[in-house]
Amino acid sequence: MKYTTEDIIDTASKSVFDSIRDRYVKEDSLAVVMSHCGVFSQDLVNSLGEGAEEILISSNEKRQMIRKIFSVLIEGLQNIKIHGEPTKENVKSGILVLAKGEDCYKITFGNLILNDFVPSMEERLTELNQLDEVELKERYMKVLSEGILSNKGGAGLGFITMRMKAKSKLNFHFQKVSDEKSVFTFELIINRLTENA
């Protein structure tokens, strides 16, 4: 049987997803609350957001924490839907893993990205991770007021917003899966024990 490039990419994405889930499952204090690997649509984004909110409410999570996680979750899911590189069939594919620990939530997002964009994304995210809270807020206001557009038409606020909401750095990784594409993943850790959660 001959495999196409898209088959190899799909297999690689699934492999990345499985390794993230396995890593979370092996962490003693973590429990995977929600996960998805595959096609992303607006309906799925809405469904995952609502589902996560219901799960958090039913586990008696604090209202402020629910809002924070929901906000990060929707921003990350929209990022996949809007900016993820489509397959040849023009389908957006992505990864989501949400896990709950005693002291934090971990959320990992992933999508395909063109290899040509990897160096600029790596540079941008590394720079973003070096900003403190004040600098981050200043960058947010600057991007908002100047409307600096990304290559996909967005203002580039998504990663800044997620960093501000989560109050954590973006742990990101690129795994090359073909000559044209890589699987891009990033993890945010949201502390459950902070006073102003």
**Per-residue model confidence (pLDDT) at position 7:** 55
pLDDT at residue 9 in the model: 57
Give the pLDDT band (50/70/90) at residue 82: confident
Give the pLDDT confidence score for residue 194 in this predicted structure. Answer: 67
Instruction: Quickly state the pLDDT bin for 26 (edges 50, 70, 90).
Output: confident
Domains delineated in the chain: 5-112+171-191 (3.30.565.10)
Residue 96, both tokens: 């989501």
Q: Is the pLDDT of residue 44 over 80?
A: yes
Q: For residue range 97-119, list pLDDT tens digits in order.
A: 999 998 999 999 999 999 999 99
Spatial neighbors of 113 by CB under 8 A, at least 6 apart, are 84, 85, 121, 174, 181, 182, 183, 184
80 or 9: which carries more pLDDT confidence? Answer: 80
For 116-153, b where at least 16 C-beta lie within 10 A, e where not — what string? Answer: ebeeebeeebeebeebeeeebeebbeebeeeeeebeee
Contact (Cβ atoms closer than 8 angstroms) between residue 59 and residue 52: no
Mean predicted lDDT score pLDDT of the chain: 85
- Tell me the DSSP string of 42-61: HHHHHHHHHHHHHHHHHTT-
Torsion of CA 108, 120, 123, 69, to 10 degrees: -30
CB 73 within 8 A of CB 46: no
What per-residue confidence (pLDDT) applies to 71?
A: 93
Looking at the chain, the whole-number percentage of residues with pLDDT higher than 70 is 88
Nearest of 72, 80, 186 to residue 126 by alpha carbon = 186
pTM score: 0.86
